[in-house]
Amino acid sequence: MSTHFPHLPPGGRPGIAGKGAIVTGGTSGIGEAVSRRLIADGAQVVAMAVGEEEIETAHERMPGLVDAIRVDVADPGAVGAAFAEADRLLAGAGTTLGILVANAGISIRHRFVDITPDEWRRVMAVNLDGVFYCAREAAVRMIQGDGGVILMTASTNGIVGHPLYADYNASKAGVILLARSMALELAPRVRVNAICPGYVMTPMQQAEYTPEMLEAADEKIPLRRHAQPGEIAALFAYLASDDGAYVTGAAIPIDGGELAGGLASRDWLRAPGSGVAAFPEE
């Protein structure tokens, strides 16, 4: 994946260049794209992730990365220790934390009645609790320092219902309201926004969907395709920069027009291979 972004100003983007940034889930998918974009914009980036192999290969795959830290964001003690280590790393790079991208998340594709309590708790623990733990650590530092920006990866699934993802949907709806509540409390020193991607061609998406399901999803998106992770990263970069200085408390869809027609999931209830056929109409 290229790290070249031809339209950026020399020396980095105002509001990002020289800032310390933490990206959770920052070594794969959307998170990796955001890490790469912030590095290209001139930020000093520390990536956090739970996958050991992702951490070990992060420097090779993302030149310019300050470092990568292995952490389970669902563990508040581990999050605190990881942020303390990030403080040390960023200080060594001559900066402090000014940007948090709370992106780490998981998904388990099940019918609602088949979700186990352990699965429900794990999705909530990573997708919502983990965002809270990381955002709290960042907010304390930013309030005591020079302010900053906290960006959270939510989803269009947190705005409208979507079958087979009740736990994921609920967690992402929580992220949106967490961001809005924090934005009110932390203004004007800290801006907080939630970004709501629609369908994005990430490894997680490709693992959960068959080629036929991907094609069916593309057919219901007005732009007729999934987003590329770099397109999502560009929105994060805008919101982290001085260009986005008047945006806070927002939940911003980036979905190829998916939500423009109303209920995004309307065509899935009878779509071949949707997995909902166990509940036929009577």
Tokens 């399901």, located at residue? 213
Phi then psi for residue 100, to 5 deg, are -120, 130
Paired strand residues for 99: 21, 149
Q: How far is CA 259 from CA 160, 225, 237, in A?
A: 8, 14, 23
Vertex 74: Cα angle to 116 and 22 (nearest 5): 140
- Please give the positions annotated as active site: 168
Vertex 272: Cα angle to 270 and 277 (nearest 5): 55
